[in-house]
């Protein structure tokens, strides 16, 4: 894929990425206020603010990549910042839900370490000049995560729907898919790294 002005910051995809980062404090503050006794009548509202803000941030994650590819304005800055913004959103949300006692600590450790590991692999692949596409398992993981985390943020049944129960079930499913997709991503990344090394050795031999 053609890369536009490598360090161009002022374009729509990068603005969406930076907007996603700016939404993170809204989520944290809303959940913090929900956990206190100061605004008890507004706990449901605060949970919805946090949940829908997370959904909005997740949608920008899809949009910035789609627009960048569609308009061919992929930049080094965007490729670097986008995965960091994603991980900041997910990790901060998981940690605050852990602090509120809504997710088991082991699940958070697995998901956070997985996010850090995948980010490292992505940055390595970008540095080596290639990119690994997200597999089907990774897409399912993201979809479940996008639904499960907001449900746990709301933390109240709504219209007879047990948001907390459904949310935690989806997070457990997310954890399983995260491990499988990380394995799949690792295999593909190291396969391409091995191919790149072989091509490099072959070129050196020809010289």
Per-residue pLDDT of 77-93, as tens digits, reads 767 778 788 889 999 99
CB neighbour class for 187 (10 Å; exposed up to 12, middle 13-18, buried from 19): exposed
pLDDT of residue 133: 72
Q: What average pLDDT is seen over the chain?
A: 85
Domain assignment present for 6: no
Report the C-alpha gap between 26 and 44 in whole angstroms: 15
Mean pLDDT, rounded, for 30-55: 91
Are 170 and 147 a contacting pair, CB within 8 Å?
yes
The residue written with tokens 């940055």 in the block is 123
CATH code of the domain containing 175: 1.20.120.1760
Residue, of 4 and 135, whose pLDDT is higher = 135
Dist CA 172 CA 7 (whole Å)? 39
Range of the domain at 93: 12-206
Residue 162 is classified by DSSP as: -
Question: What pLDDT, on a 0 to 100 scale, did the predictor assign at position 69?
Answer: 75
pLDDT band at 189 (very low <50, low <70, confident <90, very high): confident
Instruction: Provide the 10 A C-beta neighbour count for residue 119.
Output: 15
Q: Per the domain annotation, does 142 fall within a domain?
A: yes
Asked, for residue 2, whether it belongs to a domain, the answer is no
Residue 1 lies in a domain: no
- Mean pLDDT in residue range 179-186: 90
What domain count does the chain have?
A: 1
* pLDDT (tens digit per residue) in 112-167: 999 889 888 887 887 777 777 777 888 888 889 999 999 999 988 888 889 999 99
In a domain, 5, yes or no: no
Asked whether residue 9 carries a pLDDT value surpassing 90, the answer given is no
Asked if residue 22 is part of any domain, the answer here is yes
In a domain, 167, yes or no: yes
- 54 against 157, higher pLDDT: 54
């Amino acid at each position: 894929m053609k890369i536009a002005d490598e360090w161009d910051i002022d374009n729509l995809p990068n603005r969406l990425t930076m907007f996603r980062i700016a939404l993170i404090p809204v989520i944290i503050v809303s959940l913090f206020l929900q956990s206190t006794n100061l605004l008890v009548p507004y706990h449901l509202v605060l949970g919805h603010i946090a949940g829908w803000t997370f959904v909005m941030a997740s949608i920008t994650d899809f949009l910035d990549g789609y627009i960048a590819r569609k308009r061919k304005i992929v930049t080094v800055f965007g490729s670097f910042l986008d995965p960091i913004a994603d991980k900041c959103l997910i990790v901060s949300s998981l940690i605050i839900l852990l602090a509120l006692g809504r997710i088991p600590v082991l699940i958070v450790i697995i998901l956070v370490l997985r996010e850090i590991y995948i980010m490292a692999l992505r940055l390595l692949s970008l540095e080596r000049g290639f990119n690994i596409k997200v597999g089907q398992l990774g897409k399912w993981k993201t979809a479940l995560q996008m639904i499960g985390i907001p449900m746990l943020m709301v933390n109240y049944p709504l219209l007879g729907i047990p948001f907390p129960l459904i949310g935690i079930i989806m997070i457990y499913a997310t954890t399983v898919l995260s491990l499988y997709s990380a394995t799949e991503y690792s295999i593909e990344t190291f396969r391409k790294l091995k191919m790149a090394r072989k091509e490099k050795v072959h070129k050196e031999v020809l010289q």
